[in-house]
Amino acid sequence: MDVDVDALLVAVAAVWGALAGTLLPRAAYRFAVPAGEDWRGTCPAGHPVTGWLGRARCRACPAPGARYGSGAAALSLATALACAALAAATGPRPELAVWLLLAPVGVLLTVVDVRVQRLPDALTLPLAAAALGLLGLAAFAPEHAGRWPTALYGALALGGGYFLLFFLNPGGMGFGDVKLALGAGAVLGWYGWGTVLLGTFAGFACGALYGGALVVAGRAGRRTAIPFGPFMVAGVFVGVLVGAYAA
């Protein structure tokens, strides 16, 4: 019996994403605090929360397994869909392993930024280091479709560009966005400068459309701050899908 390798790869990636997504709720709860505050160490009732991965449930609360967070099913589904799409676009190339490892972090960053408009250093900086390190290993594997030097230059270029935007308009760009841009540039740069431009443009376009929709709906003004991290992640996702498919 013939086996459709591509379909099997997508199915395995989806299962991986679903399982990885189930580990995110506790981390999302603990990281989702305003800037300057310590990470959450207790549930809403004051019981200690241990560990960073797993479901957001408190065994010490009066109601057995009481939830102190939400969105476990949504996180699992979002991560599964993202990983499946990446597998479909990338195919059995070595960089797919990198995308599957980084995708859950992108989902986690999106959730935290939506909740509290914060991109924690504990996530953005390791993400950049992991992206460059893992892509460096992928560059030694046969059949890879990208270039590590461009990933490095992409990280520096996009990080520098976002830093310039932050310097010129600190109120319109958070420094967490600058740090996330390092990892975003590395991932996009793997497939070349065209992918860097595409992913960057897609992120700004998504943010502009969302902000414009809020203004038209009367739910925000021109100076209303909105989290930009989710749009950066979305732009990277679009760029990688197109870059991987075209490689």
Q: What are the pLDDT digits (tens) for 19-76?
A: 999 999 999 999 999 888 889 988 888 888 889 998 888 877 776 556 776 678 899 9
What pLDDT does 195 receive? 97
Domain with 38, as residue range(s), is: 5-246
State how far the Cα of 174 lies from the Cα of 176, in Å rounded to an integer. Answer: 5
Q: Residue 6 — very low, low, confident or very high, per pLDDT cuts 50/70/90?
A: confident
Any idea what the Cα angle at residue 5 is, between residues 14 and 75, rounded to 5°?
5
∠ CA(107), CA(110), CA(111), 5° rounding? 90
How buried is 47 (Cβ within 10 angstroms: 0-12 exposed, 13-18 middle, 19+ buried)? middle
**What distance in Å separates the CA atoms of residue 46 and residue 126, rounded to the nearest whole number?**
30
If you average pLDDT over residues 103-108, what whole number do you get? 97
Number of domains in the chain: 1
